[in-house]
C-alpha cells in the first residue's frame, strides 16, 4: 500500500507539469495538481468524522499526462439519464421525460423509439437507465429502468423489449421487475443497471429519501435501499443470499443503501461496484458482496442537508460494511464505469464516475480494492455530468443533465 502511494506521488509530480485538461477541443491547459495533494480542498461538512482506514477519503491527487480534448457530439437532449453503446458504435440514450433515442456516433439524434413503458417523470423520476442484453447480437434485447406510475404513487421498475431491426421501436415489452412497495414520492429511485459475468442483472434501488422511508433500507422485506439481483428474464436466482427466508424478499442481494445511481462491473475480477448519493458529506463507493449490509441509515458519513447530525447514525455500526471510499463534501455521483480501452492505457481498470453537483468526471485509481489516487476531469464544462461510458475506440463519452443535454466525447 505504501509503495503504491509513493509511486502515485511520483506520477502526480511529473503529471502536474504536463497535464492539459479537457477544457475544450483545443486542449487548453488547466491549473496543475499539487504533488500528491488531494484534489478536494474544501473543508469537510463533518470534521469530527474520521475515515475508518487509510485512503478511505481524499486520496492522493493524480493527473493524466498529455493532451485531452473534448467535443460536443450532440445537444438538445432533455435531461438524459442513461446511455448504452450499440455494436455499431451508436448510442441508446434515455431522456427523463420518457423518451429513448438512438444517437449516432456522428451526433444525429433519432426520433423517440416507440414501445417504451409509461413513466412518472416528477422530481427524480422518469425513464432512467438503459443497458443491453449480454447476448444482444442474437436477441436484440434492451433493458430500461424507470419510475413506474401506480395507483397511489410509483415505484422503481425494469422492463425489457426487443429493439426492432430498424431501431425504431421496442417489441414485446414486458416488466420483469418492480419494487413490491408503492410510495407516493418523487426521489431516490436508484435505478442503475448492469449485467454481471454470471449473466445476472443487478439493479440499484433507492430508499425513497423521506425520513419515514429511511428504515426501509434495513428492512429485508422491502426492495427499497437495496441492490437487486435477478435472472435476465426476471426470475430469482437460487443462490441469492436471502432466498428461503420468510422475512426477506428473494430478489434482494445487498441492503443498507441510500440512493445508488451508478453500478459497474470491474474488469478482470467481475466484481460489482456501486456509487451512491449520501447526505451532506456522505457519498459512497461500495464493493458489493452478497448479503452485506452497507449501513444506511444506521452507519454512514455526513450530516443532514440542514446541517444537523443524522439521528441515530455513526460512521460505523456492528454488522455493517464500510464504504471503500467516501466524499465529504459530496460530488453527487451519477453513473459509473470502469475504463477498458486503448486510447488511455494508463487508465486501464480505473473507475470513472459522473459528478452531478461536482460538475466533473472523477477518475479513481483502485489497487487491491482500495482507492489510491483521484483525478477530476471535464470541470471546465460547468454543468452536471449524469453518466459515463467508454466507446469502442477507447474514447470516454458522457451525458450532461440539463434542459439542453449534451453527449460529449473525451479523447486524446
Question: What does the radius of gyration of the chain's CA atoms come to, in whole angstroms?
Answer: 20
Question: What is the Cα–Cα distance from 411 to 344, expressed in whole angstroms?
Answer: 8
Our answer to whether residue 53 is catalytic in this structure is: no
Question: What is the Cα–Cα distance from 266 to 284, expressed in whole angstroms?
Answer: 17
Q: Which three cell numbers stand for residue 76?
A: 438538445
Instruction: Report the sign of the C-alpha dihedral through residues 255, 257, 259, 264, in that order.
Output: negative
Cis peptide before 297 (omega within 30 of 0): yes
Question: What is the Cα–Cα distance from 355 to 81, expressed in whole angstroms?
Answer: 13
Which of 174, 204, 166, 175 has its CA nearest to residue 82?
A: 204
| HSE, side-chain direction, 13 A CA sphere, residue 146 | 25
Burial of 345: CB neighbours in 10 Å, binned 0-12, 13-18, 19+: exposed
Q: Which three cell numbers stand for residue 218?
A: 434495513
Cis peptide before 329 (omega within 30 of 0): yes
Q: Per the residue annotation, which of 53, 70, 79, 188 is the catalytic one?
A: 188
Is 323:296 a contact under the CB 8 Å cutoff?
no
| HSE, side-chain direction, 13 A CA sphere, residue 68 | 27
Catalytic residue set: 188
Amino acid at each position: 500500500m505504501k509503495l503504491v502511494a509513493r509511486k502515485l506521488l511520483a506520477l502526480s509530480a511529473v503529471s502536474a507539469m504536463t497535464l492539459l485538461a479537457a477544457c475544450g477541443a483545443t486542449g487548453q491547459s488547466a491549473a496543475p495538481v499539487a504533488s500528491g495533494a488531494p484534489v478536494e480542498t474544501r473543508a469537510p461538512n463533518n470534521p469530527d468524522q474520521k475515515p475508518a482506514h487509510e485512503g478511505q477519503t481524499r486520496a492522493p491527487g493524480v493527473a493524466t499526462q498529455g493532451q485531452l480534448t473534448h467535443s460536443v457530439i450532440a445537444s438538445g437532449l432533455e435531461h438524459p439519464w442513461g446511455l448504452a453503446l450499440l455494436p455499431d458504435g451508436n448510442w441508446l440514450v434515455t431522456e427523463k421525460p420518457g423518451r429513448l433515442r438512438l444517437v449516432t456516433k456522428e451526433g444525429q439524434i433519432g426520433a423517440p423509439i416507440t414501445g417504451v413503458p409509461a413513466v412518472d417523470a416528477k422530481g427524480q423520476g422518469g425513464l432512467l437507465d438503459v443497458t443491453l442484453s449480454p447476448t444482444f447480437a442474437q436477441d436484440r434485447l434492451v433493458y430500461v429502468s424507470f419510475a413506474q406510475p401506480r395507483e397511489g404513487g410509483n415505484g422503481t421498475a425494469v422492463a425489457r423489449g426487443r429493439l426492432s431491426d430498424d431501431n425504431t421501436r421496442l417489441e414485446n415489452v414486458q416488466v420483469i421487475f418492480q419494487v413490491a412497495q408503492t410510495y407516493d414520492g418523487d426521489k431516490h429511485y436508484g435505478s442503475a443497471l448492469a449485467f454481471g459475468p454470471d449473466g445476472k442483472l443487478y439493479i440499484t434501488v433507492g430508499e425513497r429519501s423521506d425520513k419515514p422511508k429511511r428504515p426501509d433500507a434495513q428492512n429485508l422485506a422491502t426492495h427499497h435501499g437495496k441492490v437487486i439481483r435477478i435472472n435476465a428474464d426476471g426470475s430469482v436466482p437460487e443462490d441469492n443470499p436471502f432466498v428461503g427466508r420468510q422475512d426477506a424478499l428473494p430478489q434482494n442481494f445487498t441492503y443498507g443503501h441510500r440512493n445508488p445511481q451508478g453500478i459497474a462491473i470491474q474488469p478482470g475480477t467481475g466484481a460489482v461496484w456501486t456509487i451512491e448519493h449520501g447526505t451532506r458529506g456522505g457519498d459512497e463507493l461500495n464493493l458489493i458482496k452478497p448479503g452485506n449490509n452497507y449501513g444506511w441509515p444506521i452507519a454512514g458519513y455526513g450530516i443532514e442537508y440542514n446541517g444537523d447530525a443524522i439521528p441515530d447514525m455513526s460512521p460505523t455500526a456492528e454488522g455493517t460494511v464500510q464504504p471503500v471510499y467516501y466524499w465529504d463534501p459530496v460530488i453527487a455521483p451519477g453513473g459509473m464505469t470502469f475504463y477498458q480501452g486503448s486510447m488511455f492505457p494508463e487508465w486501464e481498470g480505473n473507475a470513472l464516475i459522473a459528478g452531478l453537483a461536482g460538475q466533473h468526471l472523477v477518475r479513481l485509481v483502485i489497487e487491491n480494492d482500495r482507492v489510491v489516487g483521484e483525478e477530476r476531469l471535464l470541470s471546465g464544462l460547468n454543468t452536471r455530468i449524469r453518466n459515463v461510458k467508454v466507446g469502442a475506440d477507447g474514447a470516454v463519452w458522457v451525458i450532461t443533465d440539463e434542459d439542453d443535454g449534451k453527449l460529449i466525447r473525451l479523447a486524446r
